[in-house]
Structure 1
Amino acid sequence: MASMTPIEILRDEHRTILSVLELLERAVERPPIDTWWTDTLAWLRAFADHSHHAKEETALFPAMVKAGVPSEGGPIAVMLEEHEEGRRLIRTMEATTGATREMACRAYVSLLRAHIDKENEIVFPLAEAVLDERTMHELGRAFDTVALEHGVPPRPS
């Protein structure tokens, strides 16, 4: 079996993140115990932010900029802004309860779903168009390094 390309890895991670977003939606409807929130938000911070977003921010986006994709005023700038907004919403969910947490949770789910769609439909095809095979191989090695540096807890259920 052939190994996954860096873009396939990111798309696969998106599927995992989307499955956890479904859990968050259900949690708003039937609030779970606080330890579930703590564990799930810790997982989102570790996997979605520290691992997945780190791969994009430290490897993919810089490679795209090096290949000529603008870092400002285009899709990369939008993705970085949305990563920051997601971090802000996670902090809000961690620091609050009740209606405030519910609003932040709904906003986070909405943000990430739209964000993932943009990456899958715009950013990743653009990366595949501008990055050569050598750069993709280097991205794969960089992704391995990020994965080793950021141990990720098991996916919440």
Structure 2
Amino acid sequence: MSPTDVLREEHEVILRALGILERFGRDMQQGKSVNPESLRWLADFFKNFADRCHHGKEEQQLFPALEKLGVPREGGPIGVLLGEHEEGRALVRAFAEADPRTAPQAIRRYVALLRDHISKENEVLFPMSDQILPPQQQQELMNAFEKVEQEVAGPEVHRRFHEGLARLESETTP
């Protein structure tokens, strides 16, 4: 398994959560009630799993490794992706703290942003990373990713978030 394989697998989990969030936003837009505890759980998922853990691996490990190999931050893909990480953080705060009348707009913007962002990484950045990162550096990144997992998330975070997503999917499946 390569570092980009790890990040792609995490993207799949994030996409599942985006599907649930999108349903919540649509329900709220239509005036239907949404369990506030479930919405808070999703906000926590995006703050901790998607941002601190997943984006942490990218920002602290992958992006600096690519920059050292000549991939530019400014005017290049890394700068664009970092800007989207920041925009995503603001949108999570917006839907987590918004009242039910304004949350659907922030949710729609966040879902669209992250789906587009994931596509850019999966289709452009990760294939480029796979080509330019030598095997030794890929192994070093795998070790660094494990360290991020332990320091940022703790050993149970993936299990907890996977179980929570499965629960929400079963509760929200039409």
* Partner residue in 2 for 1:48: 50
* Partner residue in 2 for 1:60: 62
Determine whether 1:20 maps to 2:22: no
Query: What is the TM-score when the length of structure 2 is the normalising length?
Result: 0.86
Measure, in 1, the Cα distance between the counterparts of 2:2 and 2:62. 12
Match for 1:5 among 2, 13, 32?
Answer: 2
Query: What is the TM-score when the length of structure 1 is the normalising length?
Result: 0.94
Measure, in 2, the Cα distance between the counterparts of 1:148 and 1:37. 26
* Partner residue in 2 for 1:125: 127
Structure 2 unaligned runs (5+)? 28-32, 169-174
Residue 15 of structure 1: how far off its partner (Å): 0.5
Identity of aligned residues (%): 44
Determine whether 1:154 maps to 2:161: yes
Measure, in 2, the Cα distance between the counterparts of 1:72 and 1:99. 37
Residue 129 of structure 1: how far off its partner (Å): 1.4
Match for 1:105 among 107, 114, 129?
Answer: 107
Determine whether 1:36 maps to 2:33: no
1:45-64 Cα shifts (integer Å, max 9, x gaps): 11000000000000000000
Measure, in 1, the Cα distance between the counterparts of 2:7 and 2:58. 8
1:3-37 Cα shifts (integer Å, max 9, x gaps): x2111000000010001000011111224211111
* Partner residue in 1 for 2:82: 80
Q: Is the 8 Å Cα contact of residues 26 and 104 (structure 2) preserved in structure 1?
A: no
Structure 1 unaligned runs (5+)? none
Residue 114 of structure 1: how far off its partner (Å): 0.2
Relative contact order, higher structure (CA 8 A, sep 6+):
1
Residue 100 of structure 1: how far off its partner (Å): 1.3
1:64-83 Cα shifts (integer Å, max 9, x gaps): 00011111101000000000
Residue 98 of structure 1: how far off its partner (Å): 1.7
